Amino acid sequence: MADPAPDFVSANLEWRARALRSVAYGTSSTPRGNQLPAPLVAERAEGAHLWDISGRRFIDYALGYGPLILGHSPSPVIAAVMAEMGRGLRTASNHRGEALLGELITETLPSAELSAFVSSGSEAIQLALRIARAATGRVRIIRFRGNYHGWFDTVHSGGRPGNDGPDTLGQDPAATASSTLLDWGDAEGLRAAIGPDIAAVLLEPVAVNGGCFLPSPGFLETAREVTLAAGAVLIFDEVITGYRLGLGGAQGRLGVTPDLSVIGKAMGAGFPISAVAGSAAAMEPVASGRLLQRGTFNGNPVSAAAAVACICHLRDHEGAIFPRIDAMAEDLAAFIRAEAGRAGLPISVLRAGSAVQVFVGRGDIARLSDTVRMDRAANAAFAGALLAAGVQIIGRGLIYLSAEHSPEDIALTKDAISQAISATAGSC
């Protein structure tokens, strides 16, 4: 399938070897260095496709780890960015893009009256927690195992069920000590754990990172009820789900409104921008100027222009884009289940909107806490077999659809899936 380039592995490994001589781990984000059969070195990308250094074309479902809801280099975003760059890159002043973006978020995200901008999801989580602590005068937060909220010390623990400790070396244990960790979905545990010392309850309303799990009925409603009763701030981490599960994100789809929302990824269509958004009351510490919000690149004009163009496009084509990408995701999920069944390969396939998670080698993953049994090596091998067949997904088994994937892409992808399932079933 795609363009034949038999030796793409050695071409990519050659560049990796070169990078390793001057770049730590040869990459800017550790997981990118672990891709099988070789970490791809991208040369260019357009629409639903990327071309690597060998010139081979891949159908891309990793989509920059999620942001590219409109595919690579969408023309309305590129046009807005080019126009903005012609006006200069960054000043020390405010600019119109901030207000335009703030208005669009207020229009589209149910919980939003006011927004504050930063450059990454990790920073936005940090800001949201600071707002919650400023508003309540409390320190402790409740979080959930298997949710991911970025790499800053306060939230980087419990990322994998089975390990409540730090997620990597070098973290300050005191930073994570201010978190109480619960099982995601455990409404009764939340009821028991919350009290007058809790500043915030922080959660992914749909656990895409853990494996595309939807919340059990009543979980989000309980979180809403008990945070209100305890005077704690409810924070939805919608860095993935914002502008991906629909124009109103997970909260628009599921009908529960948090005090603060953290959004990122899809809002910028590939440019670095994230936001904390909330009611005027929840945002008061920032809005009043009592809380210092700092950051040289916060709300930078080029990223803001990209986000304005992206959200306008999603808003104007809402009815055409979201149902279509969800339907493509369902089609692929059903195909993977059927092919794995045919090959006798145990598999669990979950879908949340336009995101699909496969758990290769395991037919028994139904809840986030089950992922303690996930076979990471089998998932990485499956992703590697798909890459060899011309399709890129995220190595842990996550697949994102974009508005640019075409019926032809889906047909070619199904061929690649059949090949990868046969290869993986043979080695499992």
The C-alpha atoms of residue 208 and residue 147 are separated, in whole angstroms, by 8
The C-alpha atoms of residue 333 and residue 398 are separated, in whole angstroms, by 11
Q: Per-residue string for binding with ligand PLP, 360-399, x by CB under 6 A?
A: ----------------------------------------
Q: Is 122 in the site for ligand PLP (CB under 6 A)?
A: yes
Q: Is 299 in the site for ligand PLP (CB under 6 A)?
A: no
Question: Whose Cβ is closer to ligand PLP: residue 149's or residue 313's?
Answer: 149
Q: CB 275 → ligand PLP: shortest distance, Å?
A: 11
Q: Per-residue string for binding with ligand PLP, 50-79, x by CB under 6 A?
A: ---------------x--------------
Choose which of 125, 256, 260, 314 interacts with ligand PLP (CB under 6 A): 125
Q: Per-residue string for binding with ligand PLP, 239-258, x by CB under 6 A?
A: xx------------------
- State both tokens at 244: 């991906």
Q: Per-residue string for binding with ligand PLP, 178-217, x by CB under 6 A?
A: --------------------------x----x--------
The tokens 């090959």 sit on which residue? Answer: 343
Q: CB 143 → ligand PLP: shortest distance, Å?
A: 11
User: Are residues 364 and 17 in contact, defined by beta-carbon separation less than 8 angstroms?
Assistant: no
The C-alpha atoms of residue 299 and residue 90 are separated, in whole angstroms, by 10
Q: CB 335 → ligand PLP: shortest distance, Å?
A: 26
Q: Per-residue string for binding with ligand PLP, 141-160, x by CB under 6 A?
A: -------xxx----------
Q: Is 326 in the site for ligand PLP (CB under 6 A)?
A: no
| DSSP sequence for 325-363 | HHHHHHHHHHHHHHHHHHHT--EEEEEETTEEEEEET-S
Of residues 265 through 284, those in contact with ligand PLP by CB under 6 A are 274
The C-alpha atoms of residue 171 and residue 165 are separated, in whole angstroms, by 10
Half-sphere exposure of 105 (CA within 13 A, CB side): 32
| DSSP sequence for 31-86 | GGGG-SSS---EEEEEBTEEEETTS-EEEESSGGGTT-TT-BS-HHHHHHHHHHHT
Cβ-based neighbours of 86, under 8 Å, separated by 6 or more: none
Q: In this structure, what DSSP letter does residue 253 have?
A: H
Total site size for ligand PLP, rule CB under 6 A: 15
Binding site for ligand PLP (CB under 6 A): 65, 120-122, 125, 148-150, 204, 209, 237, 239-240, 264, 274
